[in-house]
Amino acid sequence: MFSKLINLIPRDWLVTMYKHMPFTGLKNWIVYRAQHKFLVAVLAIITNEKGQILLLKHEYREQPWGIPGGWMELESPEDGLEREISEETGLKVQITGLAKAIYGTRPNRVDLLFKGKILEGTFKPSSEISEICYCEVDHWPVGLPAEQIKLIKEILSDG
């Protein structure tokens, strides 16, 4: 509601008001309330020493298999992804780079897709992940969504 009201004010007026308003805390509060909100998801194409892709069997999805990922907390994207994978699987990974950023809806979000590799660890099932598998391209488990297959191939073909 507040953001709709703020967006009725001409942009030039808002800039002038922001520039001359003396209270930084109040300015930041207004700016925060006036902006649209979205979540940030971190996802990864993780490979092992053989170049196989790590896939996780999620307990809460209709199509259960997928790439590792989760929602960021108050942390860097790489740290968030390493934390999520460790919490869900017991595996330690190294994130090697950002591969792609995607805007999505339901919920409004930005998906940051990274590449990474397995460092160490033994898989431990969790309440979210019941199994893992390492797959060669085009040898996917039943239940891996077509959108994820397309993303995996796209990211791997980009080097």
Q: Print the domain residue range for 115.
A: 39-157
Residues 87 and 19 in one domain: no
Question: Are the C-beta atoms of residues 144 and 150 closer than 8 Å to each other?
Answer: no
Residues 23 and 58 in one domain: no
Residues 73 and 12 in one domain: no
- Of the candidates 97, 98, 67, 103, the residue with the CA atom closest to the CA atom of residue 85: 67
Q: To which residue do tokens 């199509």 refer?
A: 63
Residues 27 and 45 in one domain: no
Q: pLDDT digit string (tens) for 67-105? A: 999 988 889 999 999 999 999 999 999 999 999 999 988
pTM of the model: 0.79
Q: Measure the CA–CA gap between 26 and 57, rounded to whole angstroms.
A: 46
Residue 4 has pLDDT above 80, yes or no: no
Residue 115 has pLDDT above 80, yes or no: yes
CATH at 78: 3.90.79.10
Residues 28 and 43 in one domain: no
Higher pLDDT, 159 or 17: 17
Count structural domains, the chain.
2
The pairing of beta strand 109-120 with beta strand 92-104: antiparallel
Structure letter (DSSP) for residue 74: S
pLDDT of residue 2: 67
